[in-house]
Structure 1
Amino acid sequence: MGLNNKKLSLTYRFLRVVGLNYSEEEYGQVSLWKVVCRVCKTYRDSFLINCVMESWILSPLLPRKIRPWILKKIGCHVSKNIFVGDHVRIDAGHANLIYIEEHAHITGGCRLLCHQRNLKGYCVGDDAAKLPYSLGEIHIGKGVMIGMETLIMPGVTIGDGAIVGAYSLVTRDIPAWTIATGRPAKVVKYISQRE
């Protein structure tokens, strides 16, 4: 029956009937009020992300003022003086798990993902859509530069001063003051002290 033999909520069963295939572990006991609140937040966040973050009218203010403000409004922990390029996408449903320190630079097309299906115990014949999610915080340190179209996976910390090359897939922590690139990203250089 799932959920250690707990009865699934009426709201969850209704969501399943209308075709929304949410995981039992995460949503099995969801209330109607929680669903309504989540839907309202999703619409608000979608408006901010889709209509304001890419507004050509506001383009001079977008990278350093408006996009950081939007990330903060959605729930990210954002410090001062960050840069957010165009078409950056965050895991809006789990924005509270994203931490961006001051002077970080997140260039165009980057994706920050805080959840993924937990594949532990996944076997032949199982329904992947019923697997629970595992969540992980993303920490982007001070002065980090993330190259265009990079995907950062859950649970990753990018140390202060690190540079991540364009089109990288960051699946593991990147140490401070290093340059990492690739799919998956690997450290290719340690940045030296100024003499």
Structure 2
Amino acid sequence: MAKLSLTYRFLRAIGLNYSEEEYGQIGPLTVMGKLFSNPYHALLLSMMDWVIFDPIAPRMLRPWLLRRMGAKVAKGVFIGDHCRFDQNHADHLILEENVHIASGTRILCHLRDLTNYRIGDDYAKLPYKIKQVRLCKGSCIGMESMVMPGVTIGEGSIVGTASLVSKDIPAWCIAVGSPAKAVKFFAEKESQIK
């Protein structure tokens, strides 16, 4: 095993059990940056559900706050109450025009890499996979759903309530379940067929 950086050893000494791959090569300035950005992002996330902002929250405040966290949020995006976004990796989130995210949805952009996990290994030492999540134009995520890292939800698709989206969803369909699967595809409008 390579020699660990002083910063990484300090993090371990104070009880923070981060993966060596992720934190073994960072310096003190990176740690200080995280120290200040994490509470800032936590404050932005908490502001999404402040009752005082209810009239403007879904279409104005929540998309604006998500942009402050680094997400790419287009016009017309609706974000319901009590949604949770990947606080430290929001810059990997892309919400295209007129995306609708219903209440209680959770969207993640990182997860542990289990590729080399073996019996006797320490889960906390595993590195993270950080992957982009894209919700394409006009897509809709139902209440209490979870969207996993690396997923693209196609244009105009609707994800049913309480679904777990772990793989890409094609355009113009309804997808439901855990894991979410396309159960119905929408037909073209008759005026478009002619």
| TM-score bracket relative to the smaller structure | over 0.9
> What whole-Å deviation, never above 9, does each CA across 1:69-117 have from its counterpart, x for those lacking one?
0000001000001000001111111111100001000010001111111
- Give the TM-score taking structure 1 as reference length: 0.96
Name the counterpart of 2:86: 91
Give the RMSD, CA atoms, in angstroms.
Answer: 0.7
Deviation at 1:58, TM superposition (A): 1.1
Name the counterpart of 1:122: 117
The structure 2 residue matched to 1:78, chosen from 73, 79, 94, is: 73
Name the counterpart of 2:34: 38
Deviation at 1:154, TM superposition (A): 0.5
The structure 2 residue matched to 1:16, chosen from 9, 12, 18, is: 12
- Give the TM-score taking structure 2 as reference length: 0.96
> What whole-Å deviation, never above 9, does each CA across 1:42-82 have from its counterpart, x for those lacking one?
111111111x1111111100000000000000010000010
Deviation at 1:25, TM superposition (A): 0.3
The structure 1 residue matched to 2:151, chosen from 146, 150, 156, is: 156
Name the counterpart of 1:144: 139
- Secondary structure at the aligned position of 1:80 is classed as coil
The structure 2 residue matched to 1:194, chosen from 168, 189, 193, is: 189
* Paired amino acid for 1:90: F
> What whole-Å deviation, never above 9, does each CA across 1:125-166 have from its counterpart, x for those lacking one?
111111111111100000111000110001000010000000
- Secondary structure at the aligned position of 2:181 is classed as strand
Structure 2 segments unaligned to the other structure (5+ residues): none
- CA distance in 2 between counterparts of 1:147 and 1:132 reads 31
- CA distance in 2 between counterparts of 1:122 and 1:165 reads 33
- CA distance in 1 between counterparts of 2:148 and 2:179 reads 10
Deviation at 1:180, TM superposition (A): 0.1
- CA distance in 1 between counterparts of 2:152 and 2:44 reads 26
Name the counterpart of 1:111: 106
* Paired amino acid for 1:132: P
* Paired amino acid for 1:141: C
Moved over 2 A (4+): none
- CA distance in 2 between counterparts of 1:102 and 1:19 reads 43
Q: State the number of aligned residues.
A: 190
CA contact (8 A) 2:41 2:88 kept: no
